[in-house]
Amino acid sequence: MAERAIRVVVAKPGLDGHDRGAKIVARALRDAGFEVIYTGLHQTPEQIVATAVQEDADAIGLSVLSGAHNYLFQRVLELLAEQGAGDIAVFGGGIIPPEDIAGLKAMGVKELFTPGTSTQDIVRFVREHIRAAV
Amino acid sequence: MTERERWPERPARFETLSGIPVEPLYTPESLAGWSPAEQLGRPGEYPFTRGVYPTMYRGRLWTMRMFAGFGRPEDTNARFKYLLAQGQTGLSTAFDMPALMGYDADHPRARGEVGKEGVSISTLDDFERLFADIPLGDVTTSMTINCTASVALAMYLAVAEKQGVAWDRVGGTMQNDMLKEFIAQKEWICPPEPAVRIVVDMIEFTAKHVPRFNPVSISGYHIREAGATAVQELAFTLADGLGYVEAACARGLDIDSFAPRLSFFFDIHNDFFEEIAKLRAARRLWARFMKERFGATKPESMRLRTHTQTAGVSATAQQPLNNVARVALQALAAVLGGAQSLHTNSYDETWALPTEEAVTVALRTQQIIAEESGVAMTIDPLGGSYYLETLTNKIEAAAHEYIRKIDAMGGIVRAIDTGYPQREIADAAYRYQLMEDRNEKVVVGVNKYAMTEGHPINYLKIDAAVEHEQVERVRRFKASRDAAKVERRLKQLAEACRGTRNVMPVLIDAVKDYVSLGEIADVYRQAFGLYREPIIF
DSSP class of B21: B
Using CB atoms, pick whichever of B101, B117, B459 lies closest to residue A97.
B459
Q: What end-to-end distance do the CA atoms of chain A give, in Å?
A: 11
Which A residues, 61 through 80, put their C-beta within 8 Å of a C-beta on chain B?
66-68, 70-72, 75
The whole-angstrom distance between A92's CA and the closest CA on chain B is 16
- pLDDT at A99 (0 to 100): 86
Bridge partners of A37, per DSSP, are A9
Determine the average pLDDT of the residues in A117-133: 95
The reply to whether A120 touches chain B by the CB within 8 Å rule is yes
Q: At B103, is the pLDDT very low, low, confident or very high (cuts 50, 70, 90)?
A: very high
Q: Across the interface, which of B109, B434, B535 has its CB nearest the CB of A40? A: B535
Residue type, B3: E
Choice among B182-191, B384-393, B457-466, B514-523 with the minimum mean pLDDT:
B457-466
User: What is the residue-wise DSSP string for A32-100?
Assistant: TT-EEEE--SSB-HHHHHHHHHHTT-SEEEEEE-SS-HHHHHHHHHHHHHHTT-TTSEEEEEES--HHH
User: Cα–Cα distance between B191 and B204 in angstroms, integer?
Assistant: 20
Q: Around Cβ B164, how many Cβ atoms within 10 Å?
A: 9
Please tell us whether the domain made up of B42-437 is placed in CATH 3.20.20.240.
yes
Under the banding of pLDDT at 50, 70 and 90, the label for residue B12 is confident
The residues, any chain, with a CB within 8 Å of residue B477's CB and separated by 6 or more, are B122, B123, B125, B514
User: Best residue in A8, A23, A100 to probe B by mutation, most B CBs within 10 Å?
Assistant: A23
Nearest CA in chain A to B103: A15
Instruction: List the one residue out of B54, B56, B66 whose CA is nearest residue B338.
Output: B56
CB A66 within 8 A of CB B353: no
Query: Any idea where the domains of chain A sit in the sequence?
Result: 7-128
> What average pLDDT score do residues B59-67 get?
92
Mean pLDDT score, A82-105: 94
Tell me what pLDDT residue A66 has. 87
Q: Which residues of A touch B116 (CB under 8 A)?
A: 66-68
Give strand ranges (E) for B13-170: 63-64, 67-68, 91-94, 141-144
pLDDT of residue A33 exceeding 80, the answer is yes
Label residue B3 by pLDDT band (50, 70, 90). Answer: confident
Which of B110, B429, B446 lies nearest to residue A116, judging by beta carbons? B446
Task: Report pLDDT for A15.
Answer: 94
CB contact at 8 A, A56 and A4: no
Residues B428, B223: contact at Cβ < 8 Å? Answer: no
Q: Please choose, from the candidates B247, B174, B531, the residue with its C-alpha nearest in 3D space to the C-alpha of residue B412.
A: B247
Q: Which residues pair with A10 in a beta bridge?
A: A38, A61
Contact A67 B113 (CB under 8 A): yes
Percent of chain B at pLDDT > 90 equals 92
- Inspect the interface and report whether the beta carbons of B101 and A42 lie closer than 8 Å: yes
Give B499-508 pLDDT, tens digit per residue.
999 999 999 9
Number of other CB atoms surrounding residue B434 within 10 Å: 18
**Beta-bridge mates of residue A62:** A11, A92
- Confidence (pLDDT) at A76: 98
Task: Give me the half-sphere count of Cα atoms (radius 13 Å) on the Cβ side of residue A94.
Answer: 29
pLDDT of B334-388, one tens digit each? 999 999 999 999 999 888 888 989 999 999 999 999 999 999 999 999 999 999 9
**More confident: B455 or B483:** B483
Q: Which of B160, B171, B169 is nearest to B91 (CA)?
A: B171
- pLDDT of A1 > 70? The answer is no
What are the backbone dihedrals phi and psi of residue B141, each rounded to the nearest 5 degrees, phi first? -125, 135
Cα–Cα distance between B492 and B529 in angstroms, integer?
18
Alpha-carbon gap: A3 to the closest alpha carbon of chain B (Å):
26
Q: pLDDT value at position B350?
A: 87
Contact B304, B242 (CB under 8 A): no
Handedness of CA B68, B73, B79, B85 (dihedral sign): positive
Distance CA B9, CA A129 (A): 44
Cβ–Cβ < 8 Å for B303, B310: no
Measured between beta carbons, the chain A residues lying within 8 angstroms of B187 are 15, 17
**Nearest by Cα to B93 from B126, B122, B70:** B70
Residue type, B362: A
Nearest CA in chain A to B431: A24
In this prediction, residues B243-261 reach a mean pLDDT of 98
How far apart are the C-alpha atoms of B178 and B189, rounded to whole Å? 10
- For residues B233 and B224, the answer to whether their CB atoms sit within 8 Å is yes
Report the candidate in A83, A86, A94 with the shortest Cα–Cα distance to residue A21: A94
B187 vs B473: CA distance, rounded Å = 25
pLDDT in tens, B278-314: 999 999 999 999 999 999 999 999 999 999 999 999 9
pLDDT at B455: 64
Query: For residue B453, what pLDDT is reported?
Result: 77
What confidence score (pLDDT) does residue A2 get?
Answer: 57
One of 3.40.50.720, 1.20.1250.20, 1.10.8.60, 3.40.50.280 is the CATH number of A7-128, namely 3.40.50.280
The answer to whether the CB of B489 falls within 8 A of the CB of B512 is: no
Report the length, in residues, of chain A.
134
Specify whether the CB–CB gap between B261 and B271 falls below 8 A: no
Q: What amino acid is encoded at B113 in this protein?
A: E
CA B36 from chain centre, in angstroms, equals 30
- Residue A95 in contact with partner chain B when CB distance is under 8 A: yes
**Residues B83 and B66 sit within 8 Å (Cβ to Cβ):** yes
Residue pair A30/A36 in contact by the 8 Å Cβ criterion: yes
By DSSP bridging, strand A7-11 and strand A59-64 are parallel
